Amino acid sequence: MLGHFWTIGPNLRHRLLPHAAPAATPWSTTLQDRRVGEVRLTGALARLPGAQELVVLVHGLGGAIDSSYVIKAARAAAAVGLDSLRLSLRGADRSGEDFYHAGLVDDLTAALQSPALADYARVYVIGFSLGGHMTLRWAMTPSDPRVRAVASVCAPLDLAAGCAAIDHPRAALYRGHVLAGLREIYAAVAARRPVPTPLPLIHTIKTIRAWDRLAVVPRHGFCSVDDYYASESAGPRLRALALPTLIVAAHGDPMIPAATVAPHLHDLPEHVSARWVPGGHVGFRAGLDLGMGDAPGLEPQVLAWLRRQ
């Protein structure tokens, strides 16, 4: 039950009493997608005078840059003198640009290549949930030498197992919330660009697997849902991580159950560290201790670990 509390509680609190994000300016860049052409990415860039380090924050499936966990991480970054980019994955801002998948690293690559980020000497990336999975996939073939370390929080390391878990009846509340956001993203895309599946059919989707089959697979050129999961899952490929990496998983996560993550967190390379903590899905108590010996709380401790690398 505590896992549900720490999943729902922080989100509900944020809806009723929103966390104030650090002062930021709108950020954007573009990339060329081989299937749809130009795709515009947006975000919020928070700068501090004289800061030389940047943390890029990547939200989860159906999330956005104003999700509670993203704003909390941006606040923690500002508290220790780091600039932050809250990156909106393609279409997550409801602009109708496109929609993403768990292994689509192009958005992170394009963001790092943005001229607005050119002056930073050191960069870190923290991804949450699906954004954490995407971060892990990017760190297997990193394209920017300024990125010194990355972290994933509550990432679904096995896409097939993770999908089966969230599609289980006991996760109906969470699944419904995620699918509502995905339908909004898809509807905005359908208003601007050709889409692979008619919008009325998308509105009938009841499972994440159906979303992947009707939206992700045809849009991004996978042979099938199983092909997508097998070719993109980070879990079996963690030994390929090329950067110092921190993987945080929660024992009580009701959306990404521990049983779907644990099989992949054995025999990791020395530069990859895994931490199991109490909590829910991207939601944790304020005094959480990862054993880093720094200020308590998930975000300060993750940032401290990244900066030590």
Q: 10 Å Cβ neighbour count for 185?
A: 24
CA 63 centroid distance within chain: 8
- Judge contact between 279 and 253, C-beta under 8 A: yes
**pLDDT of the chain along its 309 residues, tens only?**
666 655 665 665 656 666 788 999 999 999 999 989 999 999 999 999 989 999 999 999 989 999 999 999 999 999 999 999 999 999 999 999 999 999 999 999 999 999 999 999 999 999 999 999 999 999 999 999 999 999 999 999 999 999 999 999 999 999 999 999 999 999 999 999 999 999 999 999 999 999 999 999 999 999 999 999 999 999 999 999 999 999 999 999 989 999 999 999 999 999 999 999 998 888 888 888 888 867 889 999 999 999 999
What's at 277, amino acid-wise? V
For the chain, what is the domain count? 1
Dist CA 88 CA 28 (whole Å): 9
Q: Tell me which residue range forms the domain holding 242.
A: 2-307
Dist CA 82 CA 54 (whole Å): 6
- Judge contact between 108 and 138, C-beta under 8 A: yes
Show the tokens assigned to 225: 């849902």
pLDDT of the residue at 290: 85
- Judge contact between 126 and 150, C-beta under 8 A: yes
Dist CA 169 CA 202 (whole Å): 20
- Starting at the earlier edge strand, list the strands of the sheet with 25-33: 25-33, 37-46, 83-88, 53-58, 122-128, 147-153, 245-250, 272-277
Cα-Cα-Cα-Cα dihedral sign, residues 48, 54, 55, 61: positive
CATH number of domain containing 162: 3.40.50.1820
